[in-house]
A and B are shown apart, each in its own frame.
Chain A
Amino acid sequence: MRRLGVDVGGTFTDLVLWDDDGTTTVHKTPSTNEDPSVGTMKGISALEVKAEIDLESIDMFFHGTTVATNIVLEHNGDDVGLITTEGFRDLLHIARKKRPLNYSNYQELPWQKWQLVPRRNRRTVPERIDASGAVLTSLDEDAVRQEARLLRERGVAAVAIAFLHAYKNPAHEQRAREIVEEEFPEAFISLSSEVASQYREYERFSTTALNAFVGPKTSNYISKLVDEASAAGVSDDVHLMTSAGGLVTARSARQTPVSLLTSGVVAGLIGGCAIGAASGYPSVITLDVGGTSADVGVAPDGRLRMKHLLDTRIGDYHAMVPMAEVDTIGAGGGSIASIDEGGMFRVGPRSAGAVPGPACFDRGGTEPTSTDAMVVLGWLREKSFLSGTMEVRPQLAEQAVRNHIAEPLGQSTEKAAMGIFTVLAHSMTEAISLHSVRKGYDPRDFSLVAEGGAGPLFAWHIAKQLDIPRIIVPTHPGITSAVGLLATDIRYEVPTTVWTSSDQADIDLLAREVARLTDQAVAQLKGDGIPDEHIDLECSVDCRYVGQGYELRVQAPSGEIDADWVEQVAQAFHEQHGRMYSQRFDDKPVQLVNVRMTGIGMVPQIRLPKIAVGDADSTPAKVATAQTLMWTDDAGSPKWVDTDVYSRELLRAGNVFDGPAIVEQFDSTTVIGIGQRATVDELGHIIIERCAQ
């Protein structure tokens, strides 16, 4: 069986071809942002040659794309019309009426400045359903027809239909869709009861409008890719990664593109989980550091944690869709260091990007970046970028750090460079502890997976700071996201709002809803052609104490829905509440707010290939000795030390070496600190652990 994973990022498109026999072929090609399918198809052709295979022999094609994400970030979606309940025309305009900034007269409200639907295209029709789902005012079908015609005349490309309490009773939305389809068959239609079937009208409406906003373009892109892939001979349907960390079929992704928005960063987390599991360490913290940002994820036992639905944002908008918890902070290789007006030392979130880039790239950048700092520290050598194919000028790095930081602060250039690194590493440490220690998870129970080109430059220090016992540096840190695409299952999550409390639980309602969601999830998977024996189900419940406003998600047991099931859910919630807030109230009733059923179409798991075996002696892989600036102990100040430099390609399973050391490979460099020992495992992963000095 052959699987192809293609992850389209902002700069590069990464491809991985994996064969059941263990052969893996990787390829990297520049992304083509105008039409990403061009880069993808080019990459696939190159891979075909490199791996010496026929595209027809590819059994599964997995794809991660930022097409929808970019539309949102660049505000260039399609014109959208909204049909909504009379009296509630401006819910998208009022939003939650809280300003993003406390102390600002001149801020803009993103939902008003970059409206998903301008007011003229927000159309209301008489209809009303109450909180119990009962119809108070029946749908005025003529009004829907009239508005559909108007929107068609105005040339919108998509129509969002969102009515109050439609999560409880979708009948009016469904009927409205039929009418819009009759009047305006070419429109992309998005229903609130399908996109995000949960209470909280603003968030649901916004998600529905966002789906419509990215819908036509994303849908077209996916169709085009499917056609081109099929024309090139790839027999499989394209599967896409969602923000929840599952795969969906092209059919589903085209209907609900809003579910794809954070898939890029989530793929990195899943890749890290797969790598950790393959090396025997399932509990991982992932750190993916690129040019402008760092993504941090925490997965106890390799399980993804989902964000609270009020925190699931993308750019300036709210999207109430399941998103795995990954935090992105503005700290990367291109982060710029500066001294501000008040004399304060700052690093990031401003980034030099690819252009003008770090000063040492000599492309016009003069401000010092994190990359420049690492060149000064000796960790990044002149010939270490892209195997020496890229010129780097260390004296420019030194000059930038000296002029912009060291001299204004009255420090040595080395100290200033170390400062740039420390401040950036600290912001990553804070982000990790926010998602681990502060959520009740002990970093000492985890391994840190260093991903992206720059992750392995930071991981050694962060692991020390947080007392994380082990770092795993994947064989190809730069393509972890593409590996993630191959390492997950097909997943559909269907939610519903139930509102019942544990002391007087409506068992019938719960049983009915769970059965309905189960049918819905199974039908979706069967529609994708997943055979029964590969279908699995997971149920979770969003709970809170009766009277609170924020839910925590807990796993529900499988099996019959009865009083015992409710009790087990309540117990799981008490535990979760205790972990999150250090307090639990076992005597208080628990409100079950939303039930979520995830249908899983299991994909056979990949086995990562093994590398050639060597012995403990790593000297054959040693290519140089360099001078680098390192901390010699936890308290002391940094010193220049002799540092062994290894070539990643020459490392063999079983090799062992101690820090200080540097490992160089095509698109990444790994630092091993003093007091740390690196061991190469059978998969080629470098495992870095603390050792006695």
Chain B
Amino acid sequence: MPMTGVSLAPEVPHRTWNSVEVDPITLRVIGGALDSMAKEMAQVLYRMAYSSLIRESEDLGAGIFDVYGRELCESDSTPMHCGSIPAYIKGVNRRLAGSYRPGDVILHNHPYHGAAHSPDYGIIIPIFWNDEHIGFAGCTGHVSDIGGNFPGLCMDVVDVWAEGKLMDSMKIYDAGVRNDMLIQHILDNVRTPEQNRGDLEALVSCARIGEKRFVELLETYGLDTVMSASEAWMDYSENMLRSRIRELPNGSYEAPIGYLDDDGKNRGVPLKVAVRVDIEDDEVLIDLTGSNDQVPTAFNVPFEGSVLPVAVSAIRTILLDEETTPEYVPQNDGCFRPVRAYAPEGTIFNPDFPASCFARFSQVNRVFDSINLALAPILPDQAVAGSSSALCAIAYSGVAEDGESYWVYIEINEGSYGGRNGRDGLDAVDALMANTRNNPIEELELNHAMRAERYELRDESPAPGQWRGGIGSVRRWLMMTDTFLGSEADNRSDPPAGVLGGADGVSGSFVRNPGTEREEVLHSKVTQEVVHAGDTLEIRMPSGGGFGDPFKRDPFAVLHDVWDEYLTSEEAARDYGVVVDTERWVVDDAATSALRSRDSQTRNAEN
């Protein structure tokens, strides 16, 4: 890889269609059609799917791509998936380019050839028009189990073969003929065959709907017009992003070095995350040089399928924030073009084959967080303080009652955001690259031998700031049966950072049997831990960092935080210089002014 990095946007050697002028109205109409077909694809997938990660969490992606793998449109599900599909296509092309036939359906999950990670099954269907291969419909979804050493999730595994069964560009339908033997073989090698079977059907239906809708669009407008309009939309998104980048001063912006807890095996050895953002005219390079060497567990990151999508998502989010950008800028290949990423080979972000890279989310989310922190000084109105950058995924599992398969439940615990300029951090929500939903407790208790004892905002007060950090959640499960536990989490040793005078956030934790004699703090990453019937597991998720000087926080907001029991009145006085009258629920203005002016004198004296 060149040190100038690579981009997610594929090369286009030559166009197989004629570029034509598309009038603005047709352009608009085709843009709307692309948008709605991607949404429809995702709907079919999550409504039909079996794995709770796909159907409840919406841990999936779907879109339409041209013959070179350029993304024309994507579903609004989770960002991690969508940006990765071009890389899947590249991986599949390397084996199958030139051999596609109408009716092919290809299954792929190879993490060294484009997959985001191996449990994200990708289904790719080549689209034909007048006997010519002109594009792809693709989707991905996280299935419950893919075989390998451990059920659901894995951490302490020797290599990529141990993490699960690899499918490298497998035609499960060849020219319309279903390969039942191959499908059976795949399902025979996973612990949740019935779920995976249903998920596979849902993925295929999703991609087929995409194929059908795109062909319908071609029937109405013809290839030249549809492709020319698609190019115009990609150029539009590209130009919007480039013009935002151009507004930034050229230079290199470094985030404070971040540390991940450990690799899940060598305890107490933190892993370094170094992120530098280089701005040059209208291009951005995310340079990860200086980050840790690759590790001997599953805690590495596939470069193409995971690092590149996060670089793109972070830059797009900061510069074309959907909330504050009046124009609707569709997410497509155009957003990929101005952004490159670089990570030296043999490092945690670009491991050498065959290192396992199953558990990669906490690291890429940390990259997103670091990009925010690196740009906060030059973009105080767009970046946020440190957010809960880890992804806390926990797999609960056991042998099913039928004795022939496993029950596996993977839960993604939400995080929180750091404070923002003018707004407090968001409480208890999926952060940065993650955007999944929780599962209803009332459904889990019905289907699994687990009982919820608590699901609330955590008790510790949020990180002080003029705009305070978001508050993480606390969840406590009571196990009703002996259960295997596997986890990938982080943010224990290095909590979310405060910015511009805001305080650092609060670390997360896993505790078994809290408040009992058997209380035990678990590592953030555990492999096949056994939790016995009657044990409880308490998960506390990190609270985000504060933004700006807490002594400038609106006293009325502090009053509300005390009233809502986020803070004690002592904390209000100590951390914010606000004196709250808890009898009458008002701010004591005089006492507050006195306290705040005394504090500023002390601080001036210190300077």
Contact = CB atoms under 8 A, between A and B. Distances in A.
Contacts of A130: 445, 451
Interface stretch (A290-298, A478-486, A530-538, A543-551): A543-551
Contacts of B44: 581
B327 A341 contact: yes
Interface in A619-644: none
A97 B473 CA distance: 10
Given A104-B323, A434-B36, A548-B49, A120 B58 contact: no
A565 interface: no
Interface stretch (A421-429, A510-518, A594-602): A421-429
B571 to A, nearest CB: 16
A316 to B, nearest CB: 14
Contact of B47 (A93, A118, A342, A550): A550
Interface in B73-89: 76-79
B429 A88 contact: no
Given A99-B430, A120-B564, A344 B326 contact: no
B320 A105 contact: no
Contacts of A426: 28-29, 32
A103 B322 contact: yes
Given A87-B452, A109-B426, A499-B446, A102 B55 contact: no
Interface stretch (A32-40, A197-205, A385-393, A678-686): A197-205
Contact of B414 (A91, A97, A164): A97
Contact of A96 (B327, B383, B437, B565): B437
A340 interface: yes
Contacts of A94: 414, 427-429, 438, 455-457, 473
A693 interface: no
B24 A345 contact: yes
Nearest to B442: A199
Contact of B239 (A118, A342, A550): A342
Contact of A107 (B27, B323, B383, B451): B323
Contacts of A548: 47-50, 55, 198
A340 B326 contact: yes
B251 interface: no
Contact of A346 (B28, B48, B239, B453): B28
A45 interface: no
Interface stretch (B8-16, B201-209, B262-270, B356-364): B201-209
Contacts of A164: 441-442, 452
Given A200-B440, A419-B25, A423-B25, A88 B327 contact: no
A548 B195 CA distance: 9
Contacts of B427: 93-94, 109, 112
Interface in B308-341: 313, 316-318, 320-324, 326-327, 329, 331
A200 B443 contact: yes
Interface in A129-178: 130-131, 164-165, 167
Contact of B317 (A98, A103, A499, A581): A103
A231 interface: no
A119 interface: yes
Given A97-B414, A201-B442, A427-B32, A103 B564 contact: no
Given A88-B454, A164-B442, A93 B320 contact: no
A549 B436 CA distance: 15
B76 to A, nearest CB: 6
B429 A109 contact: yes
B128 interface: no
A97 B457 CA distance: 12
B194 interface: yes
Interface residues of A, number: 63
A549 B452 contact: no
A549 B202 CA distance: 12
Contacts of A422: 25, 29
A105 B382 contact: yes
Interface in B462-509: 473, 476
B524 interface: no
A107 B25 contact: no
B455 to A, nearest CB: 6
A11 interface: no
A317 B214 CA distance: 33
Contacts of B414: 94, 97
B28 A344 contact: yes
A97 B430 contact: yes
A550 B55 contact: yes
A106 B326 contact: no
A103 B331 contact: yes
Interface in B332-375: 372
Contacts of B33: 430
B49 A549 contact: yes
A201 B441 contact: yes
B73 to A, nearest CB: 14
Interface string B382-407: 11100000000000000000000000
Given A109-B426, A422-B25, A99 B435 contact: yes
Contacts of A345: 24-25, 27-28
Interface string B1-44: 00000000000000000000001110111001100100010001
B417 interface: yes
Interface in B55-79: 55-56, 58, 76-79
A98 B327 contact: no
Interface in A410-424: 418-419, 422-423
A200 B455 contact: no
B253 interface: no
A344 B317 contact: no
A582 B321 contact: no
B52 interface: yes
Which interface residue of B44, B239, B316, B322 has the most chain A CB atoms within 10 A?
A: B322
Interface in A537-581: 545, 547-550, 580-581
B417 A105 contact: yes
A343 B27 CA distance: 12
Interface in A394-442: 409, 418-419, 422-423, 426-427, 430, 434, 438
A49 interface: no
Contacts of B79: 102-103
Nearest to B198: A547
B240 interface: yes
Interface string A118-132: 111000000000110
Nearest to A203: B440
A202 B24 CA distance: 44
A586 interface: no
A170 B383 CA distance: 47
Contacts of B150: none
Which interface residue of B236, B383, B442, B452 has the most chain A CB atoms within 10 A?
A: B442
B420 interface: yes
A106 B321 contact: yes
B323 A106 contact: yes
Contact of A549 (B56, B326, B423, B564): B56
Nearest to A97: B414
Contacts of B324: 104, 106
Contacts of B46: 549-550
B323 A87 contact: no
A583 interface: yes
A94 B429 CA distance: 7
Contacts of A582: 205, 208-209
Given A108-B426, A342-B327, 8 more contacts: A93-B427, A94-B414, A101-B322, A419-B24, A438-B40, A548-B48, A583-B48, A583-B205
Interface of A: 87-91, 93-94, 96-99, 101-109, 112, 118-120, 130-131, 164-165, 167, 199-203, 340-347, 409, 418-419, 422-423, 426-427, 430, 434, 438, 499, 545, 547-550, 580-583, 585
9 contacts: A88-B455, A94-B457, A97-B436, A202-B440, A430-B36, A549-B49, A549-B55, A581-B48, A583-B205
Top 7 nearest A-B pairs (CB, nearest first) are A549-B55, A119-B564, A345-B24, A97-B414, A87-B454, A107-B323, A419-B25
